[in-house]
Amino acid sequence: MTKKSFTLLLSSLLTLSMLSACGGNNNKEAAATKDPGASTGTNTTATTDPATAEPEKPTEIKIMLPLNTTDTPPDTIKNEVEKLTNTKLTYQFFPADTYEEKLNSSFATGSLPQVTYLKNQTTFLQMKEAIKDGQFWEIGPLLSEFPNLNKLKPEILNNTKVDGKLYTLYIGRPLARQGIIYRKDWADKLGLKAPANTEELFAMAQAFTEKDPDGNGKKDTIGVVDRNELVYGAFKTVSSWFGTPNNWAEKDGQLAPEFTFPQYIDTMDFFRKLREGGYMNQDFAATSKTDAVNMFTSGKAGLYIGGSMQDIDSLNKDLIKNVPDAVLDTHSMVAGPDGKFAQWMIPGYNNVVLFPKSAVKDEAELKKILKFFDAMMTPEVANLMYWGIEGTHYTVVDGKAKATDNKELIEREVKGFKDSVIGEYETNGMYQSLNVLPGRIHAEELVLENVKYGVADPTAALDSATYTSKGVELQQIIADATYKYMYGQLDKAGFEKEVENWKSRGGAKIIEEYNAAYKK
Amino acid sequence: MPKKYKSSSELKKRLWRNKLLYVMLIPGVLYFIIFKYLPMYGLIISFQDYKPYQGITGSEWVGMKHFSRLFTEPDFLNILANTLILFGMNILIYFPIPIILALMLNELRGTFFKRFFQTLVYLPHFMSWVIVVSISFVMVTMDGGIINELLAYFGFAKINFLLSPGWFRPMYILQVIWREAGWGTIIYLASIAAIDPGLYEASRMDGAGRLRQVWHITLPAIRGVIITLFILKIGSVLDLGFEHVYLLLNSMNREVAEIIDTYVYTAGLRQGQFSYSTAIGFFKSIVGLIMVMTVNKVSKKIGEEGVY
C-alpha cells in the first residue's frame, strides 16, 4: 500500500512540475493572447456620448501596450472608458520584460495594431528609422483640431519630434524623480543625517555595513544595493551628482559623450571603492531588479539609489512586512566634490504612442482614434484610467486622489491602464495623489527641487543615423567596460582603450553626426 | 529500400491497401510543410534590406551584404569560438553522462528504487531555465549564497561565480547536466529494456560478471541508439539553447558567454535588424546541415547505420 501511495505522490509531483513548467513558459503567452475584447458584455451602442448629440457608432480601436504587472487586467476599467468615449477598445497587453521582442516581431510581420505604445525612450529611438521611412502617421498638423490634445506641453512634444515632425503622443513623467530611498531608522540609530555630498553618501554606505545598524550583533547588512542597469540603477544618478553630463555635453566647443568626461571616471572610482569595501552587493553586475528590491525589502541593505523616489510606497509596503519598525525616507540633494548640485533629467516623457499606417487606413480613421485620445485628456477619463473607479479604487480627499489600501486590487485592475494615460496632471486635469507616507511627501517636494538643478540631454531632440542603427549595440561596449572598471578589471588606460574601440566602430561617426545636427 | 514497381497499377494497389497509414501521415507532412518549409521563404530577407512596411516584394535587394557584415564583424570569431567551445563541452562532457546514468540505473535491482531514482533524475527537466538559473544564482551569489558562505566558513576565499569569465563554462555545463541528464537516460533505458534477457542468462552461465555483461552485451546493444542520438546532437551544433546562455550572460563574462544565439537576439529582436539576424540564422542552419551530413556519412563508412 505504501508503495502505491508513494508512486502516486511521485506521479502527482511529476504532473505538478510538468504543469508548472508549461505554465512558466506559457502564462505570458496566454495572458497576452487572451482577447480582452471578447468578454465585453456592455452594450456600448446603448450609451450615448454626452458630448455629441446624435448617437454615433462606437469607434473600434486596437491598442497594444506593455504590461508592468503579471496578469492582464479585467475589463472593469475598459468598460467604463468605452462608455465615456463611445469606443470599442481591444487592449493587447504584453509583458514589459519582453515587449521589445513583441514590438519588433509585430513590426516585422506588419501586424502592429492601430495604436502602438512603445516601451521607453530607447525603443522610440530604434523606431526612428521606420518613422522617417514614413511607416507611421504624422499627427502634428492635426493636433490643433483637438482642444485637449492641444494642451500637451510643446517643449516635451518638441523632444519627441523626428526630423522636426510630430508623430507621437507622449506619456508624461516628472523630469527628474530619481534619488535615494534609505533606512531612516538606521541612520537615526547611527546618528547620521541624509548625505549632503558624495563623501557623506560613501560614509553612510560604510556605516550601514560596518556599524550593525539592525542591532542583531552580526555583520549582515550592506550599504547600497544596485543592479545590472547603468541608467535606471544607481550609476547614472550618482554620476550626475559627480557632475557627469547627461549623456552628452560640450567639451572644447564640441559635443562629446559622457564617458569621455573625467567625472564619469570619478563615478566609476566611487563604485569601485564601494564594492571593494563590501559596502554594496558584490554581484550587482548580475543582479536583477527583483533581486535588488528583495534585498532592500528584506532589510539587508540600507540605500536604494536611482529609479524613482516615488517607488518608496511599494518598497515601504514590502519592507514593513519583514521589518515592522523600519522607517524609510527619500533624499536627492547630494552635492558633488565641487559642492554643486545636479540631477539628470529625462525629456519629460517615459513612453510614446505611434499610429502605424499599416493598420490605420486613412486620415479619417486617424482622426477618430485621435478623438479617443482627446477624450483621454479630459479629467473624467484620465482619472478613470489613472486612478480607477471612484469609491472602488480611490476616494477624493482635499481634491486629491487617495488610492484604496487594497494595493493588490489596484495592481490587478488599474495598473495596466494607468501606464497608458497620456500627458500629465497639469495637462489632462487628473487628480494628484494624496500621499500619507512622510517619505513619499518628501519625495514629491524633491521631485520639484530636482528640476531646479536639472541637467538636460542636449541630444534629446537631435538625430544621428548611426546612433539610431548601431547606438544600442555600441553602448554595450561602454557598459561592459564600465562594469569591468568598477570591478577592478580595467584601469583608466584600459577603459580609454574601450572608448577608442567604441569610436572606431561607429562612435566617431555618432559624434560627428550629433555635432553636425547641433550646429544647425 | 523501396522496391521498383513494375506498373503504376501495382503501386496504386499498394497505396490503397495501406490507405489508413497514409491518411495518418497527412498531419505530419502538413506540419512540416506549414511550419518548417513555408517559413523558409522568409530566408529571402537575408539578401535584402528588409523594410516591414514594404514587405518582401518591395524591399531592396542587397546580395550578400549582411553575410559579409557578419564575417567581418570584429567579434564574430570570438562569438563563433564561444559557441563551438560550449558545443564541444556538450559533446565531450554532457553527452556520455546519460549513457552512464542509464547503465547505472539499469544495474539497480528492485523496480521501486529504479523508478524512484529515474523519476528523481528526470524531474529537473521540467523546470524552465529561468528557474534553474535563479536557483544557482541564489546558491552561488557573493551576497550570502550558501556555497560562498561554506567556502568562507572553511577559510577559503569567496569566489565570484556569476561574474568571472572563468566560471561561466563550468556553471553552464553543470546546469545542463543537472537539468537534462536524467531526461536523456529515458531513451537509453528503453533500448536497454529491449535486450533479450537470454543473452544475459547465457553470459552468466559462461561466468561473466556484471561489468563484463555491461561491456559485451548492454553497450553493443545500444550502440545504434547512441550513434543516432550523436548525429542528431551534432545537427544542433550552433544551437545551444538561447534562453539558458542569455540568462547567465552579463557584462563581466560577455567575452566567453556571447554565443551566436544571444547575438542574434540582441542584433535582431532588440534592435530590429531583421535582415542581419536572419542572415546569421541562415548561416547557423547551413553549418548544422553540413555537420549532420558529414557525420552521417562517416558513420555509414565505419559500418554503422546513419539517421537516413
Is the pLDDT at A4 greater than 70? The verdict is no
Q: Identify the closest residue of chain B to A301 by CA–CA distance.
A: B143
C-alpha separations of A16 from A9, A25, A301, B158 in Å: 10, 14, 36, 37
Predicted local confidence at residue A2, as pLDDT: 43
Read off the pLDDT of each residue in A123-143 and give the average, rounded to a whole number.
88
Kindly identify which residue of chain B lies nearest to residue A17, measuring between CA atoms: B126
Whole-prediction pTM: 0.80
Q: CA-CA distance, A446 to A440, in Å (whole number)?
A: 10
Maximum C-alpha span of chain A: 86
Burial class of A129 by CB neighbour count within 10 A (0 to 12, 13 to 18, 19+): middle
**Predicted pLDDT of residue B6:** 63
The residue among B54, B57, B270, B273 with the most chain A CBs within 10 A of its CB, best to mutate, is: B270
**Is the predicted pLDDT of residue A30 greater than 70, yes or no?**
no
Is A283 close to B53, i.e. CB distance below 8 A? no
Query: Confidence class of residue A207 from pLDDT cuts 50, 70 and 90?
Result: very high
Cell of B12: 496504386
* Higher per-residue confidence, A89 vs B57: A89
Angle at CA A205, nearest 5°, toward A203 and A206? 60
Count, residues in chain B: 308
Average pLDDT over residues A345-354: 91
pLDDT at res. A48? 42
How many A/B residue pairs have CB atoms within 8 Å? 110
Kindly list the distances between the CA atom of residue B102 and the CA atoms of B113, B127, B192, B199, B304, in Å, as whole numbers in the listed order: 14, 21, 8, 19, 22
- Angle between helical axes of B165-193 and B76-89 (0-180°, round to 10): 40
B270:A472 CB<8 A: yes
CA of B294 vs chain A CAs: smallest distance (Å)? 35
Name the band, by pLDDT with cuts 50, 70 and 90, for residue A373.
very high
Phi, psi for residue B279 in degrees, rounded to 5: -60, -40
DSSP state of A145: G
Q: CB contact, 8 Å: B97 with chain A?
A: no
**Alpha helices (H) in chain B, listed in sequence order:** 8-17, 19-31, 55-58, 65-72, 76-89, 96-107, 111-122, 129-140, 146-153, 165-193, 197-205, 210-213, 219-235, 242-248, 254-257, 260-264, 274-301
Residue A14 pLDDT greater than 80, yes or no: no
Distance of CA A478 to the CA centre of its chain: 22
Share of chain A above pLDDT 70, in %: 89
The grid coordinates listed for A394 are 480611490
- pLDDT: which is higher, B61 or A469: B61
| Residue range A64-81, pLDDT digits in tens | 999 988 889 999 999 999
Contacts of B50 in chain A (CB under 8 A): 108
Question: Rounded CA gap, A249 and A472, in Å?
Answer: 19
Count other C-beta atoms under 10 Å from residue B123's C-beta. 18
User: Could B252 and A479 be called an inter-chain contact, meaning their C-beta atoms sit closer than 8 Å?
Assistant: no
All cell numbers assigned to A406: 487594497
Q: Which residues make Cβ contacts (< 8 Å) with residue A52, sequence separation at least 6?
A: A86
Question: Where does residue A115 fall: left (phi above 0), alpha (psi -120 to 50 degrees), or beta otherwise?
Answer: beta
What is the predicted pLDDT for the residue at B264? 84
> What pLDDT sits at residue A55?
66
Residues of B in contact with A110 (CB under 8 A): 52-53, 55
**What number is the average pLDDT over the span A303-318?**
91
Give residue-wise pLDDT tens across range A408-444: 899 899 999 999 999 999 899 999 988 889 999 999 9
Average pLDDT over residues A365-380: 94
A361, pLDDT greater than 50: yes
Distance from CA of A452 to the nearest CA of B (A): 34
Distance CA B209, CA A402 (A): 79
pLDDT at A232 over 70: yes
**Across the interface, do B163 and A286 touch by the CB < 8 Å criterion?**
yes
Q: CB atoms < 10 A from the CB of A39, how many?
A: 11
Residues across chain A: 520
B45 within 8 A of B67, measured Cβ to Cβ: no
Q: Which residues of B touch A100 (CB under 8 A)?
A: 269-270
Quote the CA–CA distance of B130 and B241 in Å, as a whole number. 12
Q: How close A255 comes to chain B (CA, Å)? A: 25
Cβ contacts of A130 on chain B, cutoff 8 Å: 51-53, 272
3 state DSSP class of A321: helix
Q: Is B209 exposed, middle or buried (0-12, 13-18, 19+ CB in 10 A)?
A: exposed
Shortest distance between the Cα of A481 and any Cα of chain B, in A, equals: 8
Question: What is the per-residue pLDDT across A453-502, written as a single tens digit (0 to 9) for each?
Answer: 999 999 887 888 888 878 888 899 999 999 999 999 999 999 999 999 99
User: Closest partner residue to A472 among B128, B254, B271, by Cβ?
Assistant: B271
Rounded-to-integer distance, Cα A467 and Cα A506, Å:
8
pLDDT tops 80 at residue B271: no
* Tens-digit pLDDT profile for residues B184-239: 898 999 999 888 888 888 988 888 888 888 888 999 989 889 988 888 888 776 77
Beta-carbon separation of B252 and A489 below 8 A: yes
- Mapping DSSP to helix (H, G, I), strand (E, B) and coil, where does residue A120 land? coil
Distance CA B122, CA B183 (A): 5
Q: Is pLDDT larger for residue A389 or for residue B273?
A: A389
Question: Nearest residue on chain A to B251, judged by CA atoms?
Answer: A480
pLDDT at A276: 95
ipTM: 0.80
- The pLDDT tens digits of the residues spanning A89-123 come to 999 999 988 898 888 888 888 889 999 999 988 88
Residues of A within 8 A of B55 (CB-CB) are 110
Highest mean pLDDT (candidates A203-212, B35-44, B254-263)? A203-212
Q: What is the pLDDT of residue A24?
A: 38
Look up residue B86 and give its three cell numbers: 560550449
Predicted confidence band of residue B4 (pLDDT cuts 50, 70, 90): low
- pLDDT over 70, % of chain B: 96
Q: Is the pLDDT of residue A330 over 70?
A: yes
Whether residue A376 is predicted with pLDDT greater than 80 in this model: the reply is: yes
In the predicted structure, residue A27 carries a pLDDT above the cut 70 = no
Hey, of A17, A125, A283, which one would you mutate to test binding to chain B, going by the most B CBs within 10 A of its CB? A283
Instruction: Grade residue A187 by pLDDT with cuts at 50, 70 and 90.
Output: very high
Burial of residue A51 (number of CB atoms within 10 Å: 0-12, 13-18, 19+): exposed
Nearest CA in chain B to A505: B74
Which residue, among A5, A31, A300, A349, has the nearest Cα to A177 in the 3D structure? A349
Asked if B52's CB is within 8 angstroms of A134's CB, the reply is no
Q: Which residues of A touch B142 (CB under 8 A)?
A: 281-283
Q: Which of B53, B126, B137 sits opposite A18 (nearest CB)?
A: B126
Q: What digits encode the pLDDT tens for the residues B66-104? A: 899 888 888 889 999 999 999 999 999 999 999 999 998
Going by their DSSP bridges, the two strands A222-225 and A248-251 should be labelled as unpaired
CB contacts of B52 in chain A (<8 Å) are 107-110, 130, 135, 358
Could you say which of A281, A285, A476 has the minimum Cβ distance to residue B143?
A281
Q: Measured between beta carbons, which residues in chain A are less than 8 angstroms from residue B274?
A: 104, 108
pLDDT at B53 over 80: no
DSSP 8-state class, residue A150:
G
Most confident range (mean pLDDT) of A256-260, B121-125, B131-135 is A256-260
Answer yes or no: do A108 and B51 touch at CB < 8 A. no
Per the listing, cell 518608496 goes with A312
pLDDT at A32 > cutoff 60:
no
A192 vs A203: CA distance, rounded Å: 9
Q: Taking CB atoms and an 8 Å limit, are A505 and B74 in contact across chains?
A: yes
Contacts of residue A360, defined as CB under 8 A and 6 or more positions apart, other chains included, come to A114, A137, A366, A369
Nearest by CB to residue A14, choosing from B123, B128, B144, is: B123
